[in-house]
Chain A
Amino acid sequence: MSVMERDHLLFQGADWDFGTIQRIHDAVEAIGVGELGLDVYPNQIEVITAEQMLDAYASIGMPLFYKHWSFGKRFALHESSYRQGLMGLAYEIVINSNPCISYIMEENSATMQTLVIAHAAFGHNHFFKNNYLFRDWTDADGILDYLEFAKGYITRCEERYGHAAVERVLDAAHALMSHGVHRYPRKKRPDLRSEERREKERHLHLEQTFNDLWRTVPTKGAAAKPQLSDERRRALLELPQENLLYFLEKSAPRLQPWQREILRIVRQIAQYFYPQRQTKVMNEGCATYCHYRIMTRLHETGQISDGSFLEFLQSHTNVTRQPEYDDPHYGGINPYALGFGMMQDIERICIKPTAEDREWFPEIAGSGDAMAVLRDVWANYRDESFISQYLSPHLMRQWRMFYLVDDPDQPELRIEAIHDERGYRRLRRSLSRHYDVGWSDPDIQVIDVDLAGDRRLILHHHVLNRTLLHKDDAQRVLQMVANLWGYAVVLKEVEPSTGAIFQEHVAHPHETLF
């Protein structure tokens, strides 16, 4: 290596200091923003220890979070498997906030820090800022303030109403978290900053309009109530409603205001994380593709040494490894591998298309500007639509994918499709469906409740493929719903096409709970 070349290197050896990090960031930024055209939130890079990484793991990666035993459980679990050496820690955690916070571990070598900055601070960051789901559903500006408020609010509740009472509400809310999101965009962009103010206003309004005299006004008999039609009644309660937490927060008759607020907090947080669940392949694919391009470029321009580049490649191939189905290490499809594979495939289609690609992807094949296509893809798709649109026959052949159906009525498993002309579309359709959260989460809705009558809450689970709910868990969660609702709750598992009922769960509230 000549003296000249050595001068270009960002770092030598594995050691780094804050000057190195700054240099690395600037070099990565020059390539990421300058050459790849990434559009990112300002970066905030925080160096943490392994201990702090474990802390962050416990609270779903967020820098601050309210207190709950389940986080303690997660912490204990991670800690013991980490200490025994069963588990390595992630190299980084990145938070969808503005500025975008990336945690990097102090143990990482300088090469790994470069990789991590390219991956998280530019790849993920670009995705968070541009993808439509994150833009529609999350408020990167307000999330940290909101978490601060949530933490404070729950602490105050604990002081006022006791740990046990708050814990019961949180337990119930957590159990319903996966059914506490709005799946279809609202008109309004979320604004978490005003949440704290709104909570105060609600509270103030209650206090201001309180007048003890109302208690003394004699009421007429209950007879005069007009009978609402079933239709009207449901419309008033916005039924059917698939957001169970929202429904309970708004309509549960016996909850205290603070209990509603806690449900609201959990619901807001569930909503914040909802896009992440829908974009795992894309998000990781985007970040992995970005770091691969950036690292390669850094090496080409002589800013990192051959040794560093090999170190990077080793960890990169580890991350994007996809074992085959009969491999003992097989544990499902690796989102890093699939995402990275598809991004590279799109690049190939743009630059060197085959006849097949021209037929399958006429609008992008041979367009030449892969980054423009990819930026568009990253902005406007989620996993499900992305796969159903861009999984190419070439990649299916390369992965040698096949489609296996397990029908309990048949004696054997059946290969429904393989990577051939007849199977491409079916393969693609079924893979994309696996990434549709609307399909993988059980579809449970509030159907009806007679508030004037016995107030029994009726939920339906629309059974898909005759797969029922896990019975034990369903009963436990239903018990929590009943506790929140304050009256009996019925969950019917219904075949949507015929209306046949497979199973019914019933739960009655424990009077002592609230």
Chain B
Amino acid sequence: MYIIDRRLNPGGKSLANRQRFLRRAKAQIQRAVRQTAGDRDITDLERGGEVTIPADGVREPSFRRSGEGGVNDHILPGNKRFIEGDTVDRPPRGGGGSSAGGDSGEGEDDFRFALTRDEFLDLFLDDLELPDLAKRRVATVETQGMRRAGYTVTGSPVNLALLRSMRNALSRRIAMRRPKPEELLRLQEEIERLEKHEGPSEQLTALHQELEQLKVRTKRFPYIDPLDLRYRRFEPVSRPVAQAVMFCLMDVSGSMTEHMKDLAKRFYMLLYIFLTRRYKHVEIVFIRHTHEAKEVDEETFFNSPETGGTVVSSALREMQRIVEERYSPDSWNIYAAQASDGDNSPNDGSTSASLLRNVILPVCQYYAYLEVGSDSDRMQTGFINHKTSLWQTYETLQEQGANLAMRKVNHRREIYPVFRELFRRRDAEAGARVP
């Protein structure tokens, strides 16, 4: 008898099967993931979890009898009152009763299972992307890199290709018949032996001569020669770089209610998850503003409270400063997402508009503006479409043809659809635009 401890064997033997399954049911799972995501808390989103998909897409059909029609018979245990020939009312369909058809196998109902966090997010973010990331990549953004390109006979010592050099040396030594050290040694020993035992003789002289010759030859053909040396060669190549930076501008002024801040934070968290998971080289800059703007770190951006008046242009200026300082528009794809309740101090409107039109938008690939409203907004406004001052400003810009996307959300459940809309993949459009 053998006892084998398999517990330490790697688990997850079904991983490959699971991937095949996910691939098979991808469309349905994706739909389910989107639906679930709508009802979820943002922190839950990071956790993966259960989804339910209709069983139909992953059905495994086989030839089997249908449950209906024809004569069915059953042997049942637990008779209490029947005798042969009794009749019983047929139990209502689907009701319990004798429920003899209880073994109908896998049900036709929905198929429920759990996704891991990675699977969930991958499916959730699958067809989102930063718009127009390709544009500059093709155009100019390039860095210089080095690439191995064979060997060369000159170079700096650090690049010496040792193996190749020694191989060359070896082949040269063989080709030139350079005497081997063992050969010399053997000859010397022979000479010593002869000298000891027999004294000078003709043979000894001959051996001495031979040894001399070999020594000369050894000297003439060195063990390693500058001729043998090879160096690794590198050549410069230019690599296109898809560098991108996302500016997150959030209004944290007093006019933003808790509800609005919550919406904005959710939006940015989603954006943050999306960027960090989908892109390797995306930098994120967080700017929050009241009447003055400040660049902050992630922690502060999402968590620390602040109040004050509202001057949107301050955030735009801050962004402009950072762009000039760190992110040259020649080599960076620049994106910005702004969230605000739409209030702006009255005298700032034109300043903001001109800043956007002349400075920000020209360097931006894409500018998304998210307006957060209060929960009850829609009911109050009714027919009169109340537009905030910022919305009006931006609308004017948009009408002039600026590359600006604007959306408004009032409720938590609208965040996901709006987010998807702002960052959905635009393959078709892109194709159409290229002449």
Contact = CB atoms under 8 A, between A and B. Distances in A.
Interface stretch (B107-115, B124-132, B272-280, B325-333): B107-115
Contact of B98 (A69, A72, A326): A326
A415 B85 contact: yes
Interface in A50-64: 51-52, 54-55, 58-59
Q: How extensive is the interface on chain B, given as a class?
A: 35 or more
A430 B100 CA distance: 15
Given A179-B63, A415-B88, A476-B61, A75 B14 contact: yes
A427 B85 CA distance: 14
Interface in B86-120: 86-90, 96, 98-100, 102-103, 111-114
Interface in A396-413: 399-408, 411-413
B84 A333 contact: no
A314 to B, nearest CB: 22
A178 B62 contact: yes
Contacts of B12: 51, 55
A438 B59 CA distance: 25
A67 B1 CA distance: 31
B19 A473 contact: no
Contacts of A431: 75
A333 B62 contact: no
Interface string B200-217: 000000000000000000
Contacts of A333: 75, 77
Contacts of B432: none
Contact of A46 (B4, B83, B103, B114): B4
A48 B6 contact: yes
Interface of A is mostly: mixed
A416 B11 contact: no
A331 B102 contact: yes
Nearest to B76: A325
Most central of A44, A48, A412, A413 by chain B CB within 10 Å: A413
Contacts of A430: 73, 75
A461 B70 CA distance: 15
Contacts of B21: 69-73, 75-76
Contact of B112 (A80, A323, A434): A80
B70 to A, nearest CB: 3
B3 A22 contact: yes
Contact of B75 (A70, A80, A401, A463): A401
A34 B346 CA distance: 99
Nearest to A422: B84
B60 A70 contact: yes
B144 interface: no
Interface in A18-51: 18, 21-22, 25, 29, 42-49, 51
Given A400-B77, A402-B82, A473-B62, A72 B22 contact: yes
Contact of B88 (A44, A404, A422): A404
Interface in A338-389: none
B14 A58 contact: yes
Contacts of A400: 77-80
A414 interface: yes
B14 A55 contact: yes
Interface string B63-78: 1111101111111111
Contacts of A68: 17, 20
Interface string B231-252: 0000000000000000000000
A469 interface: yes
Contacts of B80: 326, 400
B58 interface: yes
Contacts of B5: 18, 46-47
Contacts of B321: none
Contacts of B219: none
Nearest to B106: A77
A99 to B, nearest CB: 7
Contact of A52 (B9, B76, B99): B9
A77 B66 contact: no
A178 B63 CA distance: 8
Nearest to A67: B16
Interface in A155-203: 163, 167, 171, 174-179
Given A69-B20, A80-B50, A466 B84 contact: no
Interface in B131-187: none
A72 B75 contact: no
Interface in A425-483: 427, 430-431, 434, 442, 444, 461, 463-474, 476-477
B75 A406 contact: no
A468 B60 contact: no
A332 B63 contact: no
B387 interface: no
Contacts of B96: 328
B7 interface: yes
Interface in B18-62: 18-24, 50, 58-62
B70 A467 contact: yes
Contact of B79 (A43, A176, A178, A419): A419
B383 interface: no
A103, A408, A471: residue with the most chain B Cβ atoms closer than 10 Å: A408
Contacts of B86: 414-415
Contacts of A442: 63-65
B84 A423 contact: yes
Interface in B368-423: none
B77 A401 contact: yes
Contacts of A327: 78
30 contacts: A45-B1, A45-B4, A47-B5, A67-B16, A69-B17, A69-B23, A69-B24, A77-B113, A79-B114, A80-B112, A175-B63, A177-B62, A178-B63, A326-B78, A327-B78, A400-B77, A401-B79, A402-B75, A402-B76, A405-B73, A406-B71, A413-B88, A434-B75, A468-B65, A468-B66, A473-B59, A473-B61, A473-B63, A474-B61, A477-B63
Given A178-B63, A473-B61, 19 more contacts: A18-B3, A25-B3, A42-B1, A43-B1, A52-B9, A58-B14, A70-B60, A167-B24, A323-B78, A325-B78, A400-B80, A402-B79, A412-B88, A414-B85, A414-B88, A444-B63, A463-B70, A465-B71, A474-B61
Q: Which 9 residue pairs spanning A and B have beta carbons closest together?
A: A324-B78, A72-B21, A467-B70, A72-B17, A76-B113, A325-B76, A69-B20, A466-B70, A412-B87
